[in-house]
Structure 1
């Protein structure tokens, strides 16, 4: 990541802010590593889609938004770099609405853009008149915002139609419900460089993003019945592996999100896929690249376990209560689209390369390794040339295996060898 100056893997951090504990998963912005987004979306209730205000809506943002919508989680759009010159507010907002839908409504408005970006005007609290230079239509946009919020609450909707004023406190309290229902996708403006709008973004993330209880998730019983998952710490324990990482020093790391119940260290649970018990001797709190042991995890927590070889990405682990074996839906990943034949530069690494590639395949579900029986080649498949280049660099730096690659051979089955003549009689 340092060499390429881009993110290639998801990273988890957590912190307390505004009276809430927030888990934040940073995912790569390049489509080459979209598989990292798939696992992260399973672990969260809200997707924060960060856009460069100077560039507008880019391809990967569209894809991530679609994935979040299909996963049934809420979305919030954050426009960063609003201090960039030559930003047209109306064109930018119209582009967002054309791409993500008419439910994209600003909850604050920029006071100026580019070098003039000095503040944001809060449309929820609306505690004071807009400053001179506030862009857009403050009154009209706030009316749109109110309508989107009350649409998800019958009581508020009835009062709204009767002409009653809805208080700022009621609007604020019902924004998460509107986001969960899909009637509102909040849009915010900020500049991380200058700090303008950052505090307002942090407040919005704390107050408006969803909690585990705000999302309805389904799980399946052994006989195939779908049942509603109860995200309560008092229910039987259910968690899912949302990421796998092979570490050269501590072997395999599995990252799990807790969806129900509690779990103490030294507990035994069941891997629903295999039906076998799994002993978790140590639970690890994850903060970036650091891990610290913890005694207990509960609903909403994301934790890690080390050296549990039977766990695979997407596995559900659960308390073996009455042998129900409740499992969460599998995590769906995009299929690879490019391939390269690969072989070790040194024949001494012939055995080593196969194991190294399969380790990467276990970490990254958008990377596949196949052995073509017709051409007798080992072919690695990924999302792009950059994706496969990163794989080669991992082989070299982590496994000390240098490889050579080339385009896979085409397994021709039939080919034209010459010309022939023929005749026939056609009868009507």
Structure 2
């Protein structure tokens, strides 16, 4: 069996044989749903889409999802269940173990969270830089902040914040390339062109107690 994804050769055969030769022992239970969140997005109307892989049981529209966050139990109603194919989707009334789908109405889950199972330990990369958001004069800062909060819900490492003293929106980033990506995302999704200030290093050091520092400066030409 051979092929090339780049040339679109043999891909269907590979997927078909992979499906035929692999087996997943899903439990066909009706009473208790289990799943794993693998990403969060928003549609063109601003609806929050929580994408889930069903691992056990059945989930139906208008049922409540039960999950744990920081030791507390939460219940949220599933208003819609969508099966996506690219940018298009089909509304369905129920999903079963093995299905990949998105739900509308659930707002408290993030990528990696488990439903009826343990959450996956987070190993996200830690941003090392921060940058301020520069936008056109006359644009409401609260509106810009709300856009970035939407992006933050999809990518939590952004850590979007409002600096009251400086009156500016700040985001945490990994590097300049990410800023270019954010510019493109803002233009495509919110129809607004923005810029960013010069990235600054995120200093993580914290003093545990008061210290005294000494400095000695040699005069020029002392040698």
Q: CA separation in 2, counterparts of 1:329 and 1:348?
A: 39
Q: CA separation in 1, counterparts of 2:200 and 2:39?
A: 33
User: Does the C-alpha gap of structure 1 residues 233 and 195 become closer, same or farther in structure 2, counting only changes over 3 Å?
Assistant: same
On the 8 A contact 1:258/1:299 being kept in 2, the answer is yes
Instruction: Confirm whether residue 269 of structure 1 aligns to residue 65 of structure 2.
Output: yes
Match of 2:27 in 1: 232
User: Does the C-alpha gap of structure 1 residues 250 and 383 become closer, same or farther in structure 2, counting only changes over 3 Å?
Assistant: same
User: Does the C-alpha gap of structure 1 residues 270 and 338 become closer, same or farther in structure 2, counting only changes over 3 Å?
Assistant: same
Match of 1:279 in 2: 77
Match of 1:328 in 2: 119
Q: Which has the higher contact order (CA 8 A, sep 6+)?
A: 2
User: Does the C-alpha gap of structure 1 residues 198 and 300 become closer, same or farther in structure 2, counting only changes over 3 Å?
Assistant: closer
User: Does the C-alpha gap of structure 1 residues 191 and 391 become closer, same or farther in structure 2, counting only changes over 3 Å?
Assistant: same
1:92-171 to 2 correspondences below 5 Å: 108=1
User: Does the C-alpha gap of structure 1 residues 258 and 364 become closer, same or farther in structure 2, counting only changes over 3 Å?
Assistant: same
1:206 to 16, 19, 30: 19
TM-score (norm 1): 0.42
Q: CA separation in 2, counterparts of 1:254 and 1:199?
A: 28
Q: CA separation in 2, counterparts of 1:366 and 1:331?
A: 11
Instruction: Confirm whether residue 364 of structure 1 aligns to residue 147 of structure 2.
Output: no
Task: Give 1:353 shift.
Answer: 1.7
2:186 to 395, 400, 406: 395
SS at match of 1:303: strand
Query: Which digits, 9 at most, give the CA deviation of each residue in 1:21-41, with x for residues without a partner?
Result: xxxxxxxxxxxxxxxxxxxxx
State the Cα RMSD in Å: 3.5
Query: Which digits, 9 at most, give the CA deviation of each residue in 1:217-266, with x for residues without a partner?
Result: xxxxxxxxxxxxxx412262112221111223152111111111112222
Task: Give 1:338 shift.
Answer: 4.3
Paired residues, number: 208
In structure 1, list runs of 5 or more residues that go unmatched: 1-107, 109-188, 214-230, 319-325, 422-428
User: Does the C-alpha gap of structure 1 residues 377 and 211 become closer, same or farther in structure 2, counting only changes over 3 Å?
Assistant: farther
Query: Which digits, 9 at most, give the CA deviation of each residue in 1:246-302, with x for residues without a partner?
Result: 223152111111111112222122132251211113222222111211122111111
Task: Give 1:376 shift.
Answer: 6.7
Q: CA separation in 2, counterparts of 1:330 and 1:232?
A: 24
Q: CA separation in 1, counterparts of 2:12 and 2:188?
A: 40
On the 8 A contact 2:36/2:115 being kept in 1, the answer is yes
More helix by share: 1
Instruction: Confirm whether residue 258 of structure 1 aligns to residue 59 of structure 2.
Output: no
Query: Which digits, 9 at most, give the CA deviation of each residue in 1:330-387, with x for residues without a partner?
Result: 4532223444322322253322221111110111234332456887754322344232
On the 8 A contact 2:79/2:105 being kept in 1, the answer is no
